[in-house]
């Protein structure tokens, strides 16, 4: 068995096809991959969506991450939950960049869908192709890597690299979680949920459309040192890199971009159904880039040019502990 905990789609017999949802056994998958379900706009639904985009305020705020070094990866001496893919721990230098303070929301993704003439998301089944009003600031889900990449490019941005995501999530000091070294609990992150409650309890197939996700601006007590919300929990996040569990063994220490090729795309952060093991900012994983699932979303990043873009030495060096000190 691989040391890496790789998620298996269609767990416990929940299969999805063009015709809809088939519950095949008495158990239910926490997360399920969807490829062929499609929702179409009605004329009234598209008109309502256009009105929402014009009148509702989105949360597309970006945060500047200064150029400099940070401690990336894990060390078994300080993190007993560390996986092989997170080792070795090392200092990595990154040029300055901007990254979304929040995960991309349903409302923000709706603007993209209307601008690019795409169909509604499969879980938007109200008022002719719209999401419920209470879901406007939930993170977008059921998006492939290509969907996420297309959105960011449309917005004049891009997906962050693994290294950028991790620096934004943990700061420079090698902490295990965005807030420090204390383990995650329900007061700091949305995780460890089965979703089998409320309207889902007696109809478990509804979990496909109604997972227990929350608005992207919750958990003010758990923001990262750079001010990012929900880098762990709620939904995991696509990043730009191809995924290779052994990449850190040969990765450059300056602006790593990930492997040149691969079969899986990396994602970070863990989702609503994950355990404490995956709630750490150094945790890495990957999946087929065509995956659409109810616990995987994204946030965007942007390169910075000019005086903040780079430095020959880290201007944050005085704040950066030695690797030995972080252990």
Per-residue pLDDT of 222-270, as tens digits, reads: 999 999 999 999 999 999 999 999 999 999 999 999 999 999 999 999 8
The residue among 218, 230, 221 whose CA lies nearest residue 281 is: 230
Report the pLDDT value the prediction gives residue 59, as an integer from 0 to 100.
83
Residue 180, number of CB atoms within 10 A of its CB? 12
DSSP bridge pairs for 64? 98
Q: How confident is the model at residue 127 (pLDDT cuts 50, 70, 90)?
A: confident
Adjacency order of strands within the sheet including 62-65: 62-65, 97-100, 301-303
Query: Distance between CA atoms of 167 and 282, rounded to whole angstroms?
Result: 10
What residues does each domain of the chain span? 39-326
Whether the per-residue pLDDT at 196 is higher than 90: the answer is no
Q: For residue 140, what is the DSSP state?
A: P
For residue 198, the Cα-to-chain-centroid distance in whole angstroms is 25
Average pLDDT over all residues of the chain: 83
Whether the per-residue pLDDT at 99 is higher than 80: the answer is yes
At 39, list the tokens.
């929702």
Domain 39-326: assigned CATH number: 3.90.1580.10
The residue among 140, 133, 149 whose CA lies nearest residue 104 is: 140
Report the pLDDT value the prediction gives residue 126, as an integer from 0 to 100.
82
Q: Which helix (H) or strand (E) holds 163?
A: helix 162-170
Report the pLDDT value the prediction gives residue 39, as an integer from 0 to 100.
79
Query: Distance between CA atoms of 312 and 176, rounded to whole angstroms?
Result: 28
Q: How large is the C-alpha radius of gyration of the chain?
A: 20
Please check whether residue 159 is in contact with residue 97, taking contact to mean a CB–CB distance below 8 angstroms: no
Query: Distance between CA atoms of 58 and 60, rounded to whole angstroms?
Result: 6
The residue among 69, 71, 85, 68 whose CA lies nearest residue 326 is: 71
Report the pLDDT value the prediction gives residue 311, as an integer from 0 to 100.
52
Residue 254 φ/ψ, nearest 5 degrees: -135, 115
Whether the per-residue pLDDT at 326 is higher than 70: the answer is no
């Amino acid at each position: 068995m691989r040391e890496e905990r790789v998620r298996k789609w269609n767990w416990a017999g929940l299969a999805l096809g063009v015709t809809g949802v088939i519950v095949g056994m008495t158990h239910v998958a926490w997360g399920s991959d969807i490829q062929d379900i499609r929702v179409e706009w009605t004329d009234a639904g598209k008109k309502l969506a256009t009105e929402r985009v014009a009148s509702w305020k989105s949360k597309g705020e970006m945060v500047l991450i200064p150029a400099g070094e940070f401690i990336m990866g894990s060390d078994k001496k300080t993190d007993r939950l560390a996986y092989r893919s997170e080792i070795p721990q090392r200092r990595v230098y990154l040029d300055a960049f901007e990254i979304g303070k929040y995960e991309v929301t349903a409302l923000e993704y709706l603007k993209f869908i209307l601008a690019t003439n795409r169909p509604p998301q499969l879980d938007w089944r109200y008022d002719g192709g719209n999401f419920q009003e209470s879901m406007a600031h939930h993170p977008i889900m059921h998006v492939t890597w290509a969907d996420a990449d297309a959105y960011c490019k449309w917005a004049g941005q891009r997906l962050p690299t693994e290294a950028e995501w991790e620096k934004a999530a943990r700061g420079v000091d090698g902490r295990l979680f965005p807030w420090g070294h204390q383990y995650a609990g329900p007061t700091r992150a949305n995780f460890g949920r089965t979703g089998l409650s409320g309207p889902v309890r007696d109809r478990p197939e509804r979990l496909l459309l109604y997972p227990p996700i929350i608005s992207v601006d919750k958990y003010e007590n758990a923001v990262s040192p750079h001010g990012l919300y929900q880098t762990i929990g709620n939904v995991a996040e696509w990043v730009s890199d191809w995924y290779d569990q052994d990449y850190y063994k040969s990765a450059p220490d300056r602006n790593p971009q990930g492997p040149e090729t691969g079969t899986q795309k990396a994602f970070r952060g863990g989702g609503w159904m994950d355990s404490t093991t995956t709630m750490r900012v150094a945790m890495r994983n990957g999946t087929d880039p065509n995956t659409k699932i109810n616990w995987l979303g994204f946030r965007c990043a942007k390169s910075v040019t000019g005086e903040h873009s780079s430095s020959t030495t880290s201007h944050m060096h005085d704040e950066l502990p030695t690797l030995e000190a972080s252990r």
